[in-house]
Structure 1
Amino acid sequence: MADRKSESSTGLPGQPQIPIAAFDPPKKPKRNNFAIACAVLASLASILLGYDIGVMSGAAIYIKKDLKISDVQVEVLVGILNLYSLIGSAAAGRTSDWIGRKYTIVFAAGIFFAGALLMGFATNYAFLMVGRFVAGIGVGYALMIAPVYTAEVSPASSRGFLTSFPEVFINAGILLGYVSNYALSKLPTHLGWRFMLGIGAIPSVLLAVSVLAMPESPRWLVMQGRLGDAKRVLDKTSESQEEAQLRLADIKEAAGIPEHCNDDVVQVTKRSHGEDVWRELILHPTPAVRHIMIAALGIHFFQQASGIDAVVLYSPRIFEKAGITDDTHKLLATMAVGFVKTLFILVATFLLDRIGRRRLLLSSVAGMIISLMGLGLGLTIIDHSDHKLTWAIALCLSTILSYVAFFSIGMGPITWVYSSEIFPLKLRAQGCSLGVAVNRVTSGTLSMTFISLYKAITIGGAFFLFTGVAVVAWVFFYTLLPETQGRTLEDMEVLFGTFFKWRSTAEKLKHNEEVDGNGNGNGNGKGQIQMGTNVQT
């Protein structure tokens, strides 16, 4: 049968017979299991933030009863960790350039461990706030370093899949926090919330131990002049020897190491401790870096300003406003939010490298807009009704679940994937830490003011406000964010710099790649095969 197919592949006598297999598209390389394992271990750091977010939503109910604190104090308690995490994220860039990405994750786990114990043993509100401060610093470190390490260890063809892992584990942590709330809610009030918060020390210990088994980032190793170590890591985390060599050459070029220099240890100009980086990022950025900064900071701002933390942190209150008054039922409904959020983030990990960042992001935000509008409408109707409306309660529940589903399938993971892959190597750690800072400031501001906001403009009005923010976000993403799917990290700068005219730049790049590929359309100018590099408008 195969012979017949081969013979029939050309109908002209005297012409060479070309097997049909020759016309088949190149097979997609298998996912690198070692790179996946490294990404999983690094992303475990994100469980720390997720668990704190999830557990605090339920623990706040019992803390308020036990310590007899006001709504304003609850707002501050819930949201202040985001502001404290700024200290960690600001220090993480320099720390990770100094001691390496791997040991920065261990350091983050140690800090969070101390914070969780302090919160668990807190005897009053002030003591609890000290624990929040320490835990917040650990969360800031973990938030910045997990996506950076994962992006730097991942091959280009599966970078979206692997770099979405931190968001997956944030959601897993949120779900664990919700489950912990429900499981411990039957304990006496003064013990229940302390156990909820103190148990957070357990994942930090597991994280610190497991991270010791993973290698250091190859890009950090090159910045230290340790080419031999970097090559060994790249050999394990790449999908072929050729790709490993190309990745090493790209990193050496970005680090300013001559191409012919192949010693195991070389002398490099020490720029890995932050020298001149802030000047290049903020004071005198090139057009490309300015565009990258606007894109990275913008996507982090809109991720939080569109209201996700209001839903995740205050879901018991929202369900109460929607007509669910029993504490157990509120916690069960909150667990449903965590389950849906985690389920859809898992779906997103398999779509990122198939559909692309841009298309998935725009679809996600469009779904969030519709869901937020429905939620605002349902809550407004319930607020103005003097009797129970089952259909309006059902509308609120369904739109909350659809909102977190749409968020998790695009806006949630793509924020971390996109911002960690677009910065040039020498600016990446500090650039990502700035993105995390904007993310946490926005989250902290929203979570520390949400109760006051909905008391001022009604809870329905608050979600109409988030709808407006999401509309602005969609326009921002459509006009300013180019597709990065399949690009190497070192090629990323070329895509940026023309701001609203990025589409014409992408078209020129695509044309140049086809020409550099000797007419076969498969090259990228460096001989590296790019998976699914599509220009999407």
Structure 2
Amino acid sequence: MADLNAERDVNPSSQPAEKTHADFDPPKKPKRNKFALACAALASMTSILLGYDIGVMSGAAIYIKDDLKISDTQVEILVGTLNIYSLVGSAAAGRTSDWIGRRYTIVVAGGIFFVGALLMGFATNYAFLMVGRFIAGIGVGYAVVIAPVYTAEVSPASSRGFLTSFPEVFINSGILIGYVSNFAFSKLPTHLGWRFMLGIGAIPSVVLAVIVLVMPESPRWLVLQGRLGDAKRVLDRTSDSKEEAQARLADIKAAAGIPQDCNDDVVQVEKKSHGEGVWRELFLHPTPSVRHILACVIGMHFFHQASGIDAVVLYSPRIFEKAGITSDNDKLLATVAVGFVKTVFILVATFLLDRIGRRPLLLSSVGGMIFSLATLGFALTIIDHSHEKLTWAIALCIAMVLANVAFFSIGLGPIAWVYTTEIIPLRLRAQGASMGAAVNRVTSGVISTTFISLYKGITIGGAFFLFAAIAAVAWSFFFTCLPETQGRTLEDMEVLFGHFIKWRSALKKHEEGNKDGESNGEIQL
């Protein structure tokens, strides 16, 4: 110790510099990357297609039933089967995006929806209308898969939750536009009004397909194609710093099995993947971590729809009618309020995802949904058994519908897409995301095509009690099996998974191991 002190006296330069006030300041949070934000926004605008169809069909179905003289069963099929048809697009989107790239897959989605919207707008009978629904559904299936995949892959870790929630923001924006379209065109003659409502959706699909062409390709897809130089240039523009860009590129190369000593400027290397072998790794020979991730993806997308959100949004005019609102004009105005609340609260969620984390927001959201669904079921049951108009019960129904969409939009709505996209490993991401979207669309299709029959069978109050019970099961699943992913890189996710309900203890051991390693490194130095 004396020798060390003497050396310090002799060599003042070896003494540590005095710490300034700035050394104790917390690190400044990087500013949001404007280029990454623009890319995420442009890609996510594709989700307007799904939102618009959901919103516009809720009102158009009223006039289609009157004009084409169809039954309630045919209305159920018309409204809900687009989600079933979207399975075709969802199943194809993963392989298509691995083959032609994320960007051109977005163009494909817009083009297909354009054709479907035109066919629906010019439909002369029910069969013609269903053909248009089928084609539009394929386009929607492509859109719901590719938008969150692309945004997750261009987003820096510091704002990934904010940017990856954009698809849900635009779905809600599309729903609101659809509701407003219903109200605007409801003044036209019945045989024209619903055709304008549906056909007008062709316009944004063309605009979106053209705008997307100015976006860069996903850096992860570029690496998988061996285009390292192109990937590096995109990462330099979409990262918060040059150091982060280099770290992201190294992580992607490692995940893709490309040697780190490959020159970043070399664009001609062996192409690593067009998606071959992914299904085998997902289902036949999954690792424990992939098995856990798969369970989380399927579970979250199932509960995302099984808790009844599409029943509330698609059939809100019928819910308001059951609550005692009889005027078509008043019902459509109430649905506009639903769309407005959904849009406002999804915007709030985008700013909270990277601040308070996924788990707290998700669990709070689902807890609120349980309360609002159960209360809505109670109010509708009271109205159903009353022989007089109960103003307080009608007000409670409206309030609980608005509360339900608000709670959904502030948590479960965006997090289902953010979380499931970011936890899937790079090599499995496109096709794993398409599988999650397929589960989402199937569940949505089942709910939306059976809701009228369900409430006729168990009463409308009973239907919402059932949705509340499903939401309670969802809360238990999320609390038990889903670890927090906030702030972790996409390539670091597999550390969190593989232990199902024991993920907390496994994560604690991993962190303790890292601390021990750092301590040993300091001692050796």
TM-score (norm 2): 0.95
- Counterpart for residue 168 of structure 1: 169
| Code of the aligned partner of 1:153 | V
SS of the aligned residue for 1:37 comes to: helix
Give me the whole-angstrom Cα distance separating, in 1, the residues matched to 2:315 and 2:129.
Answer: 19
Query: How well do the aligned residues superpose, as a CA RMSD in angstroms?
Result: 1.5
- Counterpart for residue 269 of structure 2: 267
**Number of paired residues?**
507
- Counterpart for residue 246 of structure 2: 245
CA shift, 1:264, in A, is 2.2
- Counterpart for residue 436 of structure 2: 435
- Counterpart for residue 42 of structure 2: 41
Which runs of structure 2 are paired with 1:344-355 in the superposition (5 Å)?
344-355=345-356
CA shift, 1:270, in A, is 3.6
- Counterpart for residue 220 of structure 1: 221
- Counterpart for residue 8 of structure 2: none
Give me the whole-angstrom Cα distance separating, in 1, the residues matched to 2:211 and 2:518.
Answer: 42
Share of identical aligned residues, percent?
77
SS of the aligned residue for 1:347 comes to: helix
Give me the whole-angstrom Cα distance separating, in 2, the residues matched to 1:31 and 1:133.
Answer: 39
Give me the whole-angstrom Cα distance separating, in 1, the residues matched to 2:492 and 2:344.
Answer: 33
- Counterpart for residue 190 of structure 1: 191
- Counterpart for residue 122 of structure 2: 121
CA contact (8 A) 1:63 1:193 kept: yes
1:18 partnered with 2:15: no
| Code of the aligned partner of 2:299 | G
Give me the whole-angstrom Cα distance separating, in 2, the residues matched to 1:478 and 1:235.
Answer: 37
CA shift, 1:266, in A, is 3.6
CA shift, 1:507, in A, is 1.6
Give me the whole-angstrom Cα distance separating, in 1, the residues matched to 2:520 and 2:364.
Answer: 34
CA shift, 1:519, in A, is 9.4
- Structure 1 513/163 Cα, relative in aligned 2: closer, same or farther at 3 Å? farther
CA contact (8 A) 2:291 2:498 kept: yes
Which runs of structure 2 are paired with 1:47-58 in the superposition (5 Å)?
47-58=48-59
- Structure 1 15/413 Cα, relative in aligned 2: closer, same or farther at 3 Å? closer
SS of the aligned residue for 2:273 comes to: coil
| Code of the aligned partner of 1:377 | F
| Code of the aligned partner of 2:389 | K
Give me the whole-angstrom Cα distance separating, in 2, the residues matched to 1:398 and 1:430.
Answer: 39
- Counterpart for residue 3 of structure 2: none
CA contact (8 A) 1:229 1:264 kept: no
- Structure 1 261/201 Cα, relative in aligned 2: closer, same or farther at 3 Å? same
- Structure 1 520/349 Cα, relative in aligned 2: closer, same or farther at 3 Å? farther
| Code of the aligned partner of 2:266 | D
More helix by share: 2
CA shift, 1:15, in A, is 9.9
CA shift, 1:436, in A, is 0.3
CA shift, 1:506, in A, is 1.8
Give me the whole-angstrom Cα distance separating, in 2, the residues matched to 1:369 and 1:491.
Answer: 33
Q: Deviations over 1:466-513 (max 9, x none)?
A: 000000000000000000101100011111001110001222333344
Give me the whole-angstrom Cα distance separating, in 2, the residues matched to 1:379 and 1:320.
Answer: 11
Give me the whole-angstrom Cα distance separating, in 2, the residues matched to 1:515 and 1:249.
Answer: 25
Give me the whole-angstrom Cα distance separating, in 1, the residues matched to 2:330 and 2:371.
Answer: 26
- Counterpart for residue 406 of structure 2: 405
Give me the whole-angstrom Cα distance separating, in 1, the residues matched to 2:432 and 2:239.
Answer: 25
Which runs of structure 2 are paired with 1:13-412 in the superposition (5 Å)?
17-262=18-263, 263-268=265-270, 270-272=272-274, 274-412=275-413
Give me the whole-angstrom Cα distance separating, in 1, the residues matched to 2:517 and 2:353.
Answer: 27
Which moves more between the two structures, 52-61 or 499-508? Answer: 499-508
SS of the aligned residue for 1:128 comes to: helix
CA contact (8 A) 2:40 2:164 kept: yes
| Code of the aligned partner of 1:264 | V
- Counterpart for residue 461 of structure 1: 462
Give me the whole-angstrom Cα distance separating, in 2, the residues matched to 1:407 and 1:388.
Answer: 29
Q: Deviations over 1:335-385 (max 9, x none)?
A: 000000000000000000001011110000000000001100000000000
CA contact (8 A) 1:372 1:467 kept: yes
CA shift, 1:520, in A, is 12
Give me the whole-angstrom Cα distance separating, in 2, the residues matched to 1:115 and 1:514.
Answer: 56
Give me the whole-angstrom Cα distance separating, in 2, the residues matched to 1:510 and 1:409.
Answer: 30
Structure 2 unaligned segments of length 5 or more: list them. 1-14
TM-score (norm 1): 0.93
Give me the whole-angstrom Cα distance separating, in 2, the residues matched to 1:36 and 1:178.
Answer: 27
Give me the whole-angstrom Cα distance separating, in 2, the residues matched to 1:395 and 1:97.
Answer: 48
| Code of the aligned partner of 1:446 | I
SS of the aligned residue for 1:212 comes to: helix
Structure 1 unaligned segments of length 5 or more: list them. 1-13, 522-537
Give me the whole-angstrom Cα distance separating, in 2, the residues matched to 1:335 and 1:506.
Answer: 45
| Code of the aligned partner of 1:203 | P
- Structure 1 252/375 Cα, relative in aligned 2: closer, same or farther at 3 Å? same
SS of the aligned residue for 1:442 comes to: helix
Give me the whole-angstrom Cα distance separating, in 1, the residues matched to 2:333 and 2:491.
Answer: 46
| Code of the aligned partner of 2:491 | E
Give me the whole-angstrom Cα distance separating, in 1, the residues matched to 2:390 and 2:520.
Answer: 65
| Code of the aligned partner of 2:453 | S
| Code of the aligned partner of 2:286 | P
SS of the aligned residue for 1:439 comes to: helix
Give me the whole-angstrom Cα distance separating, in 2, the residues matched to 1:518 and 1:73.
Answer: 68
Give me the whole-angstrom Cα distance separating, in 2, the residues matched to 1:440 and 1:375.
Answer: 25
CA shift, 1:121, in A, is 0.2
SS of the aligned residue for 1:174 comes to: helix
CA contact (8 A) 1:174 1:338 kept: yes
CA contact (8 A) 2:98 2:273 kept: no
SS of the aligned residue for 2:411 comes to: helix
CA contact (8 A) 1:88 1:137 kept: yes
- Counterpart for residue 7 of structure 2: none
CA contact (8 A) 1:94 1:429 kept: yes
Give me the whole-angstrom Cα distance separating, in 2, the residues matched to 1:277 and 1:17.
Answer: 55
Give me the whole-angstrom Cα distance separating, in 2, the residues matched to 1:226 and 1:60.
Answer: 48
- Counterpart for residue 9 of structure 1: none
Give me the whole-angstrom Cα distance separating, in 1, the residues matched to 2:297 and 2:20.
Answer: 48
CA shift, 1:207, in A, is 0.4
| Code of the aligned partner of 2:210 | V
Give me the whole-angstrom Cα distance separating, in 1, the residues matched to 2:517 and 2:159.
Answer: 24
CA contact (8 A) 2:115 2:135 kept: yes
Give me the whole-angstrom Cα distance separating, in 1, the residues matched to 2:161 and 2:513.
Answer: 24
CA contact (8 A) 1:87 1:137 kept: yes
Give me the whole-angstrom Cα distance separating, in 2, the residues matched to 1:226 and 1:404.
Answer: 43
Give me the whole-angstrom Cα distance separating, in 2, the residues matched to 1:266 and 1:427.
Answer: 23
- Counterpart for residue 488 of structure 1: 489
Which runs of structure 2 are paired with 1:498-509 in the superposition (5 Å)?
498-509=499-510
- Structure 1 168/518 Cα, relative in aligned 2: closer, same or farther at 3 Å? farther
CA contact (8 A) 1:514 1:520 kept: no
Give me the whole-angstrom Cα distance separating, in 2, the residues matched to 1:505 and 1:492.
Answer: 13
Give me the whole-angstrom Cα distance separating, in 2, the residues matched to 1:428 and 1:300.
Answer: 15
Give me the whole-angstrom Cα distance separating, in 1, the residues matched to 2:18 and 2:368.
Answer: 52
Q: Deviations over 1:230-278 (max 9, x none)?
A: 0000000000000000000000001110000014214235422x21110
Which moves more between the two structures, 376-385 or 499-508? Answer: 499-508
